[in-house]
Structure 1
């Protein structure tokens, strides 16, 4: 219980610090935009590249782990996509961001340190695989759907080029794919270059969370209350429940791997969803509010889950 509090409270406090800076007008709008650009083009790509490059070699129940996590993840993604369009009468692009929010956990900033603290080295491989899968597959899927929605009216060839180009230009997706390629080929990275990447990676979490809080400062917290409740419920309750059914009863993963999968699914919405929304200037206010609320509520729900899984 103390472990999750020790990790989640600093995370939430950093968002609040950005919120306070925005409310007191210490940060101008242009400054926040510049910080977002730094996060999207430099810090987050460095974080994913380094983590995927340094991930341990895949072995064991990898296929079962990915099936237990991503089969319910895909089902929830497309259900949320269709339901979001109908309930809130929004575009496919905005509904894609909702679907990503329902399935994309904060596996990097909270998930990795939390699972390693609770389960040690045995949790490293499944945790990193989920980080890699979320970044390459889920983020890539949402990016493709947003690009497709923005390219309506084009012929199929032009639309395909637009989608592929949008995914290929996403520095977060490219960095994770590059890190995976370096990992699989065992290409050595020079220490100075790795040190440079680590410096940028260390800035990703604080800068992304601070920018999120600063953006929240300019938006009323009651904006989209129904949507915030909807996304928080999907992320903190429905997502982990579906993964738990697959991991524990359908595929019967080893205890540690099952616990890691369920815990990762139960985490609050990732800040990367906000970064993507900000990048496309699409639904960013409501997504940022949902991240803020899911993080606050998640302190309690994750504590309860850990007491069940770890106790």
Structure 2
């Protein structure tokens, strides 16, 4: 547990700073919007481009790991989307964000450090690759689904409108650009690497700070609390269980099985909250999902590590 807590505590410390800043009125609503705009348009795109561009293309296109990890995520994504849309009668945008929150883990800021602490350096590969794959697949799918319903404008878009929404999204553009760089095996100049290394890491604390400030306003209606609880269960229990089943059908190398399961069991990424705020959909429930999943993951990840 000490290892998991050591990775998780900094997360809660930054989140608490945002909570206090809003509670003490150091930061107002305009400040929160400005901070989120910085993360969404500048810091997070820089981080995504950097992570994807620096990942060997052979790893990005590894079919076995892709099918095992991203396949499991997509299956859960579809199940949660269908449940929220058809059973809970939520909108298309709400269903897409709920599905994303149940399948996109905090692989970058929590997964990589945790695997490096628990296993050999080369066994952190699942979290590194998952960072790129989740952004390429799950994020793009979610933006496409939201834009196909008119985004926050509430009117249906044609194919050209959907494509315009996707390819004007800075997060997706950054991932595609990084994918091209990885495919061409281009070496980024040192000034660009320095720029990315300076700007990209600001996305994590920026998103967490804004998330903490959002928590001061409550979590929404009781039905939103129920939805948040279902998402947390799907992320911390459903995805690891689905991953275990998938591994019985498509085995990975022995040294990657445990790290892949740990990666699947990670709590919801704060990047989901960035998208929720961008589209003004389920903002407070998603904030609760990110917070609660990280808090509960201290116990679930510790139990899984002991079990493995």
TM-score (norm 2): 0.93
Tell me what 1:40 maps to. 40
Cα deviation 1:63-84 (Å, max 9, x = unaligned):
2111111222111111111111
Tell me the distance in 2 between the aligned counterparts of 1:186 and 1:279. Answer: 32
Residue 123 in structure 1 maps to residue 130 in structure 2: no
1:260-279 matched pairs, under 5 angstroms = 260-279=259-278
Residue 191 in structure 1 maps to residue 190 in structure 2: yes
Tell me what 1:148 maps to. 148
Whether the aligned pair in 1 keeps the contact of 2:126 and 2:263 (CA below 8 Å) is no
Range that drifts further, 120-129 or 286-295: 120-129
Let me know the Cα RMSD of the aligned residues: 1.9
- Secondary structure of the structure 1 residue equivalent to 2:158: helix
Range that drifts further, 178-187 or 94-103: 178-187
Tell me the distance in 2 between the aligned counterparts of 1:281 and 1:231. Answer: 18
Whether the aligned pair in 1 keeps the contact of 2:36 and 2:210 (CA below 8 Å) is yes
Tell me the distance in 2 between the aligned counterparts of 1:303 and 1:222. Answer: 32
Range that drifts further, 256-265 or 34-43: 256-265
Whether the aligned pair in 2 keeps the contact of 1:35 and 1:211 (CA below 8 Å) is yes
Tell me the distance in 2 between the aligned counterparts of 1:105 and 1:22. Answer: 26
Whether the aligned pair in 1 keeps the contact of 2:53 and 2:181 (CA below 8 Å) is yes
Deviation at 1:42, TM superposition (A): 0.7
Tell me the distance in 2 between the aligned counterparts of 1:166 and 1:153. Answer: 13
- Secondary structure of the structure 2 residue equivalent to 1:150: coil
Deviation at 1:307, TM superposition (A): 1.8
Deviation at 1:256, TM superposition (A): 2.7
Deviation at 1:222, TM superposition (A): 7.4
Tell me what 2:29 maps to. 29
Residue 139 in structure 1 maps to residue 134 in structure 2: no
Tell me the distance in 2 between the aligned counterparts of 1:256 and 1:61. Answer: 19
Cα deviation 1:204-258 (Å, max 9, x = unaligned):
11111111111111224875221121111000000111012212x2112123322
Whether the aligned pair in 1 keeps the contact of 2:59 and 2:129 (CA below 8 Å) is no
- Secondary structure of the structure 1 residue equivalent to 2:218: coil
Tell me what 1:171 maps to. 170
Residue 216 in structure 1 maps to residue 195 in structure 2: no
Distance 1:60 1:235, change over 3 A: closer
Whether the aligned pair in 2 keeps the contact of 1:58 and 1:125 (CA below 8 Å) is no
Whether the aligned pair in 2 keeps the contact of 1:72 and 1:239 (CA below 8 Å) is yes
1:43-122 matched pairs, under 5 angstroms = 43-58=43-58, 62-122=62-122
- Secondary structure of the structure 2 residue equivalent to 1:188: coil
Cα deviation 1:180-214 (Å, max 9, x = unaligned):
21122121211111101110012111111111111
Tell me the distance in 1 between the aligned counterparts of 2:120 and 2:42. Answer: 29
Distance 1:307 1:221, change over 3 A: farther
Q: Which runs of 5+ in 2 are unaligned?
A: none
Tell me the distance in 2 between the aligned counterparts of 1:61 and 1:202. Answer: 25
Whether the aligned pair in 2 keeps the contact of 1:52 and 1:128 (CA below 8 Å) is no
- Secondary structure of the structure 1 residue equivalent to 2:120: helix
Deviation at 1:31, TM superposition (A): 0.2
Distance 1:74 1:170, change over 3 A: same
Range that drifts further, 20-29 or 236-245: 20-29
Distance 1:252 1:220, change over 3 A: closer
Residue 203 in structure 1 maps to residue 195 in structure 2: no
Whether the aligned pair in 1 keeps the contact of 2:60 and 2:132 (CA below 8 Å) is no
Deviation at 1:59, TM superposition (A): 5.4
Cα deviation 1:252-297 (Å, max 9, x = unaligned):
2123322222111111111111111110111111111111111111
Cα deviation 1:37-62 (Å, max 9, x = unaligned):
00011111111111122224525993
